[in-house]
């Protein structure tokens, strides 16, 4: 089997761990990050560090981007010294950021003009899944392109779901984020009420984690909240962005999502308070403030 050369752009909380797993699996790797210091762990391992997305494309068969939002993807792909300027026959771009099905189709159309294949492949599983290589990856695009890069995806994820045409991966991710957001809202509301009612939090955790209310949010994030740990596994500002895309898509399709809309407004408030760089679990701080609970 051919050994694909992989270029990775975007070494944030998720991207750095995902790229490191690709390196550990033995794929030839080159990395790029706008903030150069984040490439240092890779440079120390002998992984080449590119000076631009263009250079990444020139030296790769597959270019993966894991950046914040659609404008960042557009800049990486089509901006000055972008990926398209390093295009060569057979190049594949995989956008693993979360944006929207419409953006995915837009990127695919523009990249096709340069002869570049495109997959949208957002992920879920938080920072722990990125570190452990157990992410769930949702992929949209041509089936034959997906099959070619599947070994690369398997280096980062445990569950790889081929969703269908371009945009299908992003649609699945937005649906996932609806549940993630409402799950967090439910856990936070239970914890805020428990605190006000003087219920022992350890007992609440036992009940929630062993019964019908159990979830990843309960298992992973509730212990963090119990300790007052609001550092990000996934940033609140990023969930706000994802929920915004979900609500926009629902409006276009005429589907009412009142729970999602409410959760979005709460995360809007959280970001407005300057807590967007904290984890999604920082929503509890907003509820404590609204309830008059001292941290």
DSSP 279: B
Catalytic residue among 38, 142, 158, 173: 173
Q: Catalytic annotation on 173?
A: yes
Query: What kind and span of H or E run contains 158?
Result: strand 157-164
Using H for helix, E for strand and C for coil, what is the string for the chain? Answer: CCCCCEEEECCCHHHHHHHHHHHHCCCCEEEECCCHHHHHHHHHCCCCECCCHHHHHHCCCEEEECCCCHHHHHHHHHCCCCHHHHCCCCCEEEECCCCCHHHHHHHHHHHHCCCCEEEECCEECHHHHHHHCCEEEEEECCHHHHHHHHHHHHCCEEEEEEEECCCHHHHHHHHHHHHHHHHHHHHHHHHHHHHHCCCCHHHHHHHHHHCCCCCHHHHHHHHHHHCCCCCCCCEHHHHHHHHHHHHHHHHHHCCCCHHHHHHHHHHHHHHHCCCCCCEHHHHHHHHHHHHCCCC
Catalytic residues: 173
């Amino acid at each position: 089997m051919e050994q694909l050369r992989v270029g990775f752009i975007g070494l944030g909380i998720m991207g750095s761990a995902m790229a490191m797993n690709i390196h550990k699996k033995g794929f030839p790797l080159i990395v790029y990050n706008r903030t150069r210091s984040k490439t240092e762990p890779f440079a120390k391992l002998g992984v080449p560090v590119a000076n631009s997305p263009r250079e990444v494309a020139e030296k790769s068969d597959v270019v993966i981007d894991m950046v914040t939002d659609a404008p960042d993807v557009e800049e990486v792909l089509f901006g000055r010294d972008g990926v398209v300027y390093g295009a060569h026959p057979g190049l594949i771009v995989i956008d693993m950021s979360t944006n929207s099905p419409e953006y995915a189709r837009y990127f695919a159309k523009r990249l096709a003009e340069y002869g570049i294949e495109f997959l949208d492949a957002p992920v879920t599983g938080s920072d722990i899944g990125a570190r452990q290589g157990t992410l769930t990856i949702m992929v949209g695009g041509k089936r034959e392109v997906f099959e070619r890069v599947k070994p690369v995806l398997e280096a980062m994820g445990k569950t790889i779901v081929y969703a269908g045409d371009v945009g299908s991966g992003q649609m699945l991710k937005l649906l996932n984020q609806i549940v993630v957001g409402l799950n967090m809202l439910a856990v936070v509301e239970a914890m805020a009420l428990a605190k006000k009612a003087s219920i022992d939090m350890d007992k609440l955790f036992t009940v929630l984690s062993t019964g019908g209310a159990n979830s990843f949010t309960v298992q992973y994030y509730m212990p963090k909240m119990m300790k007052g740990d609001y550092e990000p596994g996934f940033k609140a500002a990023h969930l706000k962005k994802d929920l915004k895309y979900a609500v926009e898509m629902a409006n276009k399709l005429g589907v009412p999502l009142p729970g999602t809309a409410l959760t979005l407004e709460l995360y809007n408030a959280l970001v407005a308070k300057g807590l967007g760089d904290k984890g999604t679990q920082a929503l509890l701080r907003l509820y404590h403030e609204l309830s008059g609970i001292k941290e």
